[in-house]
Amino acid sequence: MTLLITAVVLLTVVVAVHLLFTFGLVARIRELSELQQHGGGSHAVNTHLPRPGTVVRPFSVTGTDGAAITEADLDGPVQVGFFQVGCGPCRMLSDALVTAPPTARFVSIVDGDPAAPDATAQLVAKLGALGRVAVIGVDDPVLTAFEVVAFPTLLHTHSGVVTASGTRLDDFADEPGAPAQVA
């Protein structure tokens, strides 16, 4: 009799755990299905990007022109690009931006490499053609202000609020002031 009770209890626990996993799987499938229906599109959703509606927190960083860049400079439509020296995708995005510059104001934040000052200077010079540039170090507070955790990150802001985010130019096809698409 004890053996039968133990078997029933064990079977109940196994069924309950199985049900929990099943509910979790169903919830995840629904979430992925909604993402695909509402903007997931043909490429994967990057969960490391700031979401539209994110308010940029106060920050101050010194531009290469010596003047401060702050959240007050995001007073209209402004695109902000985050680049890292030595990052292949950053180089491809910066090349694409220089080829098809955005019509909105553009601010570039470059995570410089003290060990490669020439590479940092080259990236700053290239991005300088687009607008203002600031060079930062690792874990600079400006990254926290924008909630940026990966490079490259390209943001479209309006009055200090993120309206779009992405890592490629085609992520901004519907945004005013977006760069033209390069064929």
Q: What whole-number distance in Å separates Cα of residue 105 and Cα of residue 78?
A: 5
Q: Specify the pTM.
A: 0.71
Model pLDDT, residue 93: 94
Phi–psi pair at 108, nearest 5 degrees = -110, 130
* One-letter amino acid of 18: H
Q: What whole-number distance in Å separates Cα of residue 67 and Cα of residue 69?
A: 7
Tell me which residues of the chain have a pLDDT lower than 50. Answer: 41-43, 182-183
- Residues facing 77 on adjacent strands: 158
pLDDT digits (tens, 9 = 90+) for 55-68: 999 999 999 999 99
pLDDT digits (tens, 9 = 90+) for 139-157: 899 999 999 999 999 999 9
Model pLDDT, residue 37: 58
Q: What whole-number distance in Å separates Cα of residue 107 and Cα of residue 109?
A: 7
Question: Which residues, other chains included, contact 102 with Cβ-Cβ below 8 Å and sequence gap of 6+?
Answer: 79, 130, 177, 178, 179
Among 151, 149, 145, smallest CA distance to 123 is for 151
Among 96, 99, 93, smallest CA distance to 110 is for 93
Among 87, 96, 119, smallest CA distance to 181 is for 96
Token reading at 62: 């010194």
